Structure 1
Amino acid sequence: MKIVIPIFGFGPAGGSRVLSQLANHWIMQKHEVIFICYKGSTAPYYPTNAEIYYFDNNGNLSTNNDTLYKRPIFGILKLRKILEKVLNNFDCDIILANHSLTADPVSRSINKAKKFYYIQAYEPDFYHGLSIKNFILKRITINSYNLQNLNLVVNSEMYFNYNEIKAKRYVPPGLDLKIFSPNLNETKSDKVILGTIGRKEKHKGTSYIIEAFKILREKFGNKIELHIAFGDKIFENIEGIKVFHPNGDLNLAKFYKSLNVYICAQTIQLQAIHYPIIECMACKVPVITTGYYPSNKFNSFLIPIENVNAIIDKAEVFMHTNINEINKIKEIAFNDILEFDWSNVSKKMINYFKE
């Protein structure tokens, strides 16, 4: 099959990684995969073996991007019309939209290819505030879930009947289990290393983790540290916090494996799949988490949302749990994430394309 994935830009977000990996595995399965991307985008953050065509403000295609290329007046709204025009004339079997902003151009295009919309999150939750921009983007997103000629595929079963989303096809994000693999060279240390991903958005929960750590640091002194990946360097002004910027999946896996336990304190869409959780489970790093599939009371240390005291209590529970029990939890978690192997995930999507 010839599969086209239209996007407006490559980036470091988890959704971009999913697309690159799906493309790579489909190519290994002898399918042809092409990204159609806006000319002003950066090069792919996550390597892909797919072909890439960049469209300019006139809808012309080339193989070169230009990060200094100026967007047209009315920005993304105009680009959606240009993308629709590009798709009208592009020969392919499958068109896969991956974002609310590309769903409408895919739906409106007169291309006769089968059209799919892969939903990796409920996007309206991310548009906070009362700005006109947020209002428009939120409305576009909500409308995208009701486009009649798109076959919806969600990345978590929680979205089968979630607000405006009504879907029956499910393909989870995948994992490279050769990279995110158990640490075979664990070293003993007198320090307990907590870890998390640093994000500014309140719903990401980083602020709750930092507040909890301050209290834990007062109690345990230099026997406990908090390591934050991708956090702001200003966090290091707090005693006991170190900030890291792992480049690429290999270094991200190395970061996880350096931890004694990973903490996730996100507050929304708790039944969804959250990459750091499944990546840590694949590395056999225990997780303290507010939820996220496949976390449960047998494979994780669960906490309620927006609760600093719960994070403190569960961190102490972890520190006082014997190693045999910790190993049992890690083993259950590892077995629970084997379904996310990229080979299985990519074939599941192809089977939907063949329906």
Structure 2
Amino acid sequence: MDDLLMKIIIPVLGFGKSGGYRVLSNLSNYLIKNGCSVTFVAPEYSPEPYYPTSARVISVASRFENIKILRVVFAALSIFSQILKFDEGCVIANHNLTSFIVVVLPRRFRKYYYVQAYEVNLVSGLFSKFLAYLSYFLPLRKIVNSEKILPERVKNIVGCVPAGIDFNVFYESSEVFSKSKTIRIGCIGRKERYKGTFEIIEAFSEIAKKYDAILQVAIYLPKCDFNANDKIVYRPITNDTELSDFYKSNDIIVATGLIEYGAFHYPCAEGMAVGRLVISNYSPLTDRLDAVNPQLRLERVNKKSIVEALDFAINMNSSKQLEEIAINNSIIRQYSWNCVGLQFLDIISES
């Protein structure tokens, strides 16, 4: 078993900037520090890993650069052929397409599928949705980042490992605010409609009529024609340090979305980690079982629910704010990369 743990292979069809790739990089760094060798196998057209990793990256041949379907098929075949050169190992898929590569590997490999999103909701086209759905029923050992992420009928789930937080970057600096001063509300803007940025801006336009407040939007600011546009500030982000500073520059973080309620959500977790009030329908905030300030944990997301939560948060006194921040801090500690990495290593060692 120890020999198997020493050799981990992760096929990817290209590195990107999304949170899933951050997880892969940080998990690989933890596994390497704990005696494993980790190798990513990616097509040569892929950019370098955006998130730093000490893992080895093997680039394989790719063809048909201008024909997406053929490019992906050829890349998958090249990745498959490269993995066959390993004598053995633990191979981990992280995407519905790479799961089909992993499932057809010989039995000398231990095969896992780390599911970080229900991709049926994220892809377009009936065929793509069918492939994503089918991938969850492949005979692979599945590790999920949230117990709520997959339909109940999906079997062979061997563990739940959420994403982790780098507390050297996203460290707590708790501050209380008063509604007698300008209230700073922050959110991470996304282009995708299901991310819910439009609903947050729409809710803020109502809050701005009642309170002296500004909305700071990081990453992406959609074009919106609301009466509060002069109170909306765009903040570009180029690295995690700037992202942490962005969270800390706000009093309240709104981390809501329109799909996958209860799943792990980085803006929610990072807002909690830096000691700000967080409004969300996602984990880790929704993991709380206490009855303190349930108004901040949304069961539905729309303009009305966000307005009500913001109104409640703005009117919290300093002791209530500190109580909320302290509870969040006690929850978020279990999401350190050491804790998360150990959970992952235990699962692939034992299952």
TM-score relative to the length of structure 1: 0.88
| Contact 2:149/2:260 (<8 A) preserved | no
Q: How many residues align?
A: 338
The Cα shift of 1:293 comes to 3.4
Confirm whether residue 316 of structure 1 aligns to residue 316 of structure 2: no
Q: State the partner residue of 1:170.
A: 160
Partner of 2:38: 33
Q: 1:340 to 1:89 in 2, by over 3 A?
A: same
Q: Residues 182 and 213 of structure 2 are in contact (CA less than 8 Å); yes or no, is this contact kept in structure 1?
A: yes
Aligned-pair CA distance for 1:258: 0.8
Distance 1:47 1:226, change over 3 A: same
State the SS of the aligned residue for 1:345: helix
* Contact persistence 1:89–1:111 (CA under 8 A): no
Verify the 8 A CA contact 1:3 1:92 in the aligned structure 2.
no
2:331 match: 336
Label 1:213 to 1:261 Cα distance change in 2 as closer, same or farther (>3 A): same
Select which of 45, 53, 68 maps to 1:48. 53
Aligned partner (choices 70, 76, 96) of residue 74 of structure 1 = 70
Q: Please report how far the alpha carbon of residue 273 of structure 1 lies from its aligned counterpart in structure 2 after TM superposition.
A: 0.8
Matched to 1:224, the amino acid is A
Aligned to 1:278: 269
1:166-188 CA-partner distances (Å, limit 9, x unpaired): 51311111111121111168898
Q: 1:323 to 1:215 in 2, by over 3 A?
A: same
| 1:109 equivalenced with 2:88 (yes/no) | no
Cα 1:136–1:186 shift into 2, 3 Å: same
Q: Quick one: distance in 2 between partners of 1:354 and 1:302? A: 35
| Corresponding residue to 1:268 among 234, 259, 266 | 259
Could you tell me which residue of structure 2 aligns to residue 158 of structure 1? Answer: 148
Contact 1:197 1:228 in 2 (8 A): yes
Q: Which residue of 2 aligns with 1:62?
A: none
Q: Distance in 1 between matches of 2:87 and 2:224?
A: 50
Structure 2 distance, partners of 1:322, 1:112, is 60
* 1:142–1:164 contact (8 Å) kept in structure 2: no
1:11 paired residue number: 16
1:1-355 residue pairs with structure 2 within 5 A? 1-57=6-62, 74-110=70-106, 112-128=108-124, 134-148=125-139, 150-159=140-149, 162-164=152-154, 166-183=156-173, 190-220=181-211, 223-232=212-221, 234=223, 238-295=229-286, 296=288, 298=292, 301-355=296-350
Aligned-partner Cα distance in 2 for 1:112–1:79: 22
Q: Distance in 2 between matches of 1:321 and 1:305?
A: 21
Partner Cα separation in structure 2 for residue 73 and residue 307 of structure 1: 37
Which residue of the partner structure matches residue 63 of structure 1?
Answer: none
Cα distance in 1 for partners of 2:204, 2:174 equals 28
Query: Which stretch of the first structure deviates more once superposed, 18-27 or 165-174?
Result: 165-174
Give percent identity, aligned residues only.
30
Cα deviation for residue 227 of structure 1 reads 0.5
Unaligned runs of 5+ in 2: 1-5
Deviations 1:72-103 (A, max 9, x none): 76222332223222222224421111111101
Task: Verify the 8 A CA contact 2:158 2:347 in the aligned structure 1.
Answer: no
Q: 1:207 to 1:187 in 2, by over 3 A?
A: closer
In 2, Cα distance between equivalents of 1:200 and 1:17: 19
Task: Tell me how far apart the structure 1 counterparts of residues 35 and 293 of structure 2 sit (CA, whole Å).
Answer: 37
Identify unmatched segments of 5+ residues in structure 1: 59-67, 129-133
SS at match of 2:8: strand
Partner SS, residue 213 of structure 1: helix
Distance across 1 between alignment mates of 2:241 and 2:149: 30
8 Å contact 1:273–1:294 — kept in the other structure?
Answer: no
TM-score, normalised relative to structure 2: 0.89
Distance (Å, rounded) in 2 between the aligned partners of 1:291 and 1:50: 30
Aligned-pair Cα RMSD in Å: 2.4
* Pair 209,332 (structure 1): closer, same or farther in 2 beyond 3 Å: same
Shift of 1:340: 0.8
Say if 1:186 and 1:251 are closer, same or farther in 2 by CA, change over 3 A: farther
Shift of 1:315: 1.1
